[in-house]
């Protein structure tokens, strides 16, 4: 119990000390996960809407594939990305292994199916009804689509928040492709795993508390955004 | 009627299970005259990643279990964490390699006594083309080699996890009068195997124990460039954790393990380990 209490005290001291290393770790976590979420959204939101309103052959298989990938273990994503970008791999010439870019790629692979799946689900439920309403009001194709986007606002944000939550909290993929290099690819989750293996529990707890707080704040902002308008 | 049959069947099943359980307990109880409790049939060994990664423990422990009937649960971590586990009373016995820290551990009353078990050595490994020219100019002088790495346009990957290897590496930088900082110095905070992989990937240098390097040699393009310096000598010690820590510590099992690993049989096994694969032993036993 003493150790946990110490951890809380350390967390407080960490945050007010403005220790450069700690803030580097926190900022890198945010940078990697937010970038991955942004890149994923760019592809996933249109893909999810498209899947929801357009019928084509093999659609069932595609959807099932996306649902399966939604629960892909981060370690597997990390392993696959690592094999592709490592020096012996097909993209070895890019020299991406153990860089923040590699971490963004791995997390993007994890987040794309999640956002796509959630957006698709929402579109499937509301899409038909909105199409009907738009038709009755005599809207053209473009107006229908903008109405659809407006109605799907909540689903899109839910998808983005869920995807971001997955990215910021995973450790398996970034550990493999980033390598937890001090001051370069070390993020909050890999720090916690490392500090635990070094027996430095109080510092691990401290960074854990920071991680939870940041998630809370970011989720709060996104939630307000979702509720607003 | 059907229900009755079901009931009888399930009762019989329960009876069979209970008998099986009881006979199981009887079998696992040691057959010596001392009626030991079941908890004494397993110990927790906190050790370093190198003893596990090299395969030494997988080779030794089944023999120990056969000889004594004691099961060993291995927790492979860095030396720093292993000592911390001992301090917290989370392990019964330690097999680690950082002599000064181990002696301090015993002095502070966390452990009972420290014994030499065996040694192996560290090597500096790096890419075949050797950009810092270690092999040419410092093939048996570790401090000079570290200076060359720092001067040359070369990357160095450090364990950075407070392990025995990391402690050793920090000492070498200190002796070389270099503060390891900058773009060329990557502190990974990972185990030996991971660090070797990383050095291989970015074509950098690292300090590794010979055993882990040899066990991975076929999968990587790194070569031994510096070896044979006395400073690279790596002594392993075994310590029983002080049983006053808590109720759960199995001191009896820990003592049995220590006696066994220092004994002639185990020392002979250690000497034979790796000979067939690498044509020389990975660890040299030196228990007194």
Give pLDDT tens digits for B158-205.
999 888 899 999 999 999 999 999 999 999 999 888 999 999 999 999
Burial label for B22, CB within 10 Å (0-12, 13-18, 19+), is: exposed
A229 found inside a domain: no
Mean pLDDT along residues A8-34: 86
Q: Which class in CATH covers the domain with range B42-120+235-285?
A: alpha beta
Give pLDDT tens digits for A72-90.
999 999 999 999 998 778 9
Determine whether the interchain pair B187/A190 forms a contact, defined as Cβ–Cβ distance below 8 Å.
no
- How far A87 CA sits from the closest chain B CA (Å)? 6
Q: What per-residue confidence (pLDDT) applies to B16?
A: 57
A61 or A195: which leads in pLDDT: A61
Give CA–CA dist A74/A173, Å, rounded.
5
**Which of A37-41, A63-67, B13-17, B206-210 is least confident?**
B13-17
Give pLDDT tens digits for A94-122.
888 889 999 999 999 999 999 999 999 99
Return mean pLDDT, chain A. 88
Facing residues of B42 across strands? B71
Residue B226, classed as helix, strand or coil, is strand
Answer yes or no: same fold for B42-120+235-285 and B121-232: yes
Q: Which phi and psi (to 5°) does residue B76 adopt?
A: -95, 115
pLDDT at B78 over 90: no
pLDDT at B247 over 60: yes
Outline where B177-250 has alpha helix (H). Answer: 192-202, 210-216
- How far B272 CA sits from the closest chain A CA (Å)? 31
Contacts of A78 in chain B (CB under 8 A): none
pLDDT at B32 over 50: no
Q: What per-residue confidence (pLDDT) applies to B29?
A: 42
User: Is residue B3 very low, low, confident or very high in pLDDT (cuts 50, 70, 90)?
Assistant: low
Cβ proximity of A69 and A101 under 8 Å = no
Mean pLDDT along residues B215-236: 91
A30's CB contacts (< 8 A; 6+ apart) are A168, A214
Residue of B210, B193, B116 lying closest to B157 (CA atoms):
B193
| Side-chain-facing half-sphere of B282: CA atoms under 13 Å | 25
Domain ranges of chain B: 42-120+235-285, 121-232
Give CA–CA dist B106/B239, Å, rounded.
8
CA A134 → CA A17, A83, A131, B213, B246, distances in Å?
57, 48, 5, 68, 72
Determine whether the interchain pair A181/B186 forms a contact, defined as Cβ–Cβ distance below 8 Å.
yes
Sign of CA dihedral A17, A20, A21, A27: positive
Determine whether the interchain pair A180/B78 forms a contact, defined as Cβ–Cβ distance below 8 Å.
no
Out of A86, A87, A182, name the one closest to residue B189 (CB): A182
The residue of chain A with its CA nearest to that of B86 is A199
Q: What is the CATH number of the domain that holds A31?
A: 1.10.3720.10
Mean pLDDT along residues B134-158: 93
- How far A196 CA sits from the closest chain B CA (Å)? 8
Determine whether the interchain pair B85/A194 forms a contact, defined as Cβ–Cβ distance below 8 Å.
no
Facing residues of B186 across strands? B157
A21 found inside a domain: yes
Out of B78, B186, B187, name the one closest to residue A197 (CB): B78
Contacts of B83 in chain A (CB under 8 A): 199
pLDDT at B275 over 90: no
Q: Which phi and psi (to 5°) does residue B203 adopt?
A: 55, 55
Determine whether the interchain pair B201/A87 forms a contact, defined as Cβ–Cβ distance below 8 Å.
yes
Residue of A188, A122, A131, A132 lying closest to A158 (CA atoms):
A122
User: Is residue B35 very low, low, confident or very high in pLDDT (cuts 50, 70, 90)?
Assistant: very low
Contacts of B186 in chain A (CB under 8 A): 98, 179, 181-182, 184
Strands (E), chain B: 42-47, 71-76, 93-96, 111-127, 156-158, 185-187, 205-209, 222-226, 233-241, 284-285
Contact A21/B at CB under 8 A: no
Domain range spanning residue A15?
1-224
Cβ proximity of A208 and A113 under 8 Å = no
What does the H/E/C string look like for A85-141?
HCCCCCCHHHCCCCCHHHHHHHHHHHHHHHHHHHHHHHHHHHHHHHHHHHHHCCCCH
- Tally of structural domains, chain A: 1
Give pLDDT tens digits for A134-147.
888 888 888 888 88
Mutate to test the interface with A, among B157, B165, B188, B199 (most CBs of A within 10 A): B188
Q: What is the dihedral of CA A130, A136, A142, A146, to 10 degrees?
A: -40
Query: A119-134 burial, b if ≥16 CB within 10 A, otherwise e?
Result: bbbbbeebbeebeeeb
The dotted CATH code for B121-232 is 3.40.190.10
Return mean pLDDT, chain B. 87
- How far A32 CA sits from the closest chain B CA (Å)? 18
A37 found inside a domain: yes
Q: What per-residue confidence (pLDDT) applies to B17?
A: 58
Out of B84, B187, B198, name the one closest to residue A98 (CB): B198
Out of B83, B187, B202, name the one closest to residue A98 (CB): B202
pLDDT at B39 over 60: no
CA B285 → CA A195, B5, B51, B263, distances in Å?
32, 64, 13, 10
Residue B189, classed as helix, strand or coil, is coil
């Amino acid at each position: 119990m003493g150790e946990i209490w110490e951890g809380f005290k350390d967390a407080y001291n960490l945050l007010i000390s403005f220790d450069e290393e700690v803030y580097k770790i926190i900022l890198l976590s945010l940078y990697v996960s937010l970038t991955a979420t942004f890149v994923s959204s760019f592809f996933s939101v249109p893909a999810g809407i498209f899947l929801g309103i357009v019928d084509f052959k093999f659609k069932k298989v595609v959807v099932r594939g996306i649902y399966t990938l939604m629960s892909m273990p981060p370690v597997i994503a990390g392993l696959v990305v690592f094999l592709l970008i490592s020096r012996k791999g097909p993209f070895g010439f890019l020299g991406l292994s153990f860089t923040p870019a590699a971490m963004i790629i791995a997390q993007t692979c994890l987040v794309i199916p999640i956002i796509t799946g959630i957006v698709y689900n929402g579109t499937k439920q509301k899409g038909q009804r909105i199409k009907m309403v738009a038709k009755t009001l005599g809207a053209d194709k473009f107006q229908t689509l903008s109405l659809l986007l407006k109605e799907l606002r909540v689903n899109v944000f839910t998808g983005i928040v869920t995807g971001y939550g997955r990215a910021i909290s995973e450790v398996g993929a970034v550990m493999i492709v980033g390598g937890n290099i001090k001051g370069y690819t070390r993020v909050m989750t890999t720090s916690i795993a490392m500090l635990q293996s070094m027996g430095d529990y109080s510092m691990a707890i401290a960074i854990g508390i920071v991680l939870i707080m940041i998630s809370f704040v970011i989720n709060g902002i996104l939630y307000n955004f979702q509720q607003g308008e | 009627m059907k229900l009755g049959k079901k009931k009888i069947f399930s009762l019989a099943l329960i009876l069979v299970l209970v008998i099986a359980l009881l006979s199981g307990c009887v079998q696992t109880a040691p057959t010596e005259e001392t009626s030991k409790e079941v908890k004494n049939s397993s110990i927790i060994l906190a050790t370093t990643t190198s003893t596990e990664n090299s395969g030494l423990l997988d080779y030794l422990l089944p023999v120990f279990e056969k000889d004594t009937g004691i099961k060993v649960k291995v927790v492979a971590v860095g030396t720093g964490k292993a000592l911390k586990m001992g301090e917290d009373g989370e392990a019964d016995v330690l097999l680690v390699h950082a002599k000064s820290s181990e002696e301090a551990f015993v002095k502070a009353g966390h452990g009972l006594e420290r014994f030499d078990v065996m040694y192996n050595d560290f090597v500096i490994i790096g890419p075949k083309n050797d950009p810092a020219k270690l092999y040419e100019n410092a093939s048996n002088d570790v401090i000079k080699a570290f200076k060359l790495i720092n001067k040359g346009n070369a990357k160095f990957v450090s364990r950075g996890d407070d392990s025995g290897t990391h402690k050793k590496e920090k000492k070498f930088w200190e002796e070389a009068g270099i503060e390891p900082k900058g773009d060329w110095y990557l502190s990974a905070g990972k185990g030996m195997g991971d660090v070797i992989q990383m050095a291989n990937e970015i074509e950098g240098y690292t300090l590794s124990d010979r055993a882990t390097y040899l066990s991975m040699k076929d999968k990587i393009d790194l070569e031994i460039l510096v070896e044979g310096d006395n400073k690279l000598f790596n002594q392993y010690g075994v310590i029983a954790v002080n049983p006053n820590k808590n109720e759960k510590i199995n001191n009896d099992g820990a003592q049995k393990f220590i006696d066994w690993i220092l004994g002639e049989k185990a020392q002979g096994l250690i000497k034979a380990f790796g000979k067939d694969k690498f044509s020389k032993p990975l660890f040299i036993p030196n228990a007194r």
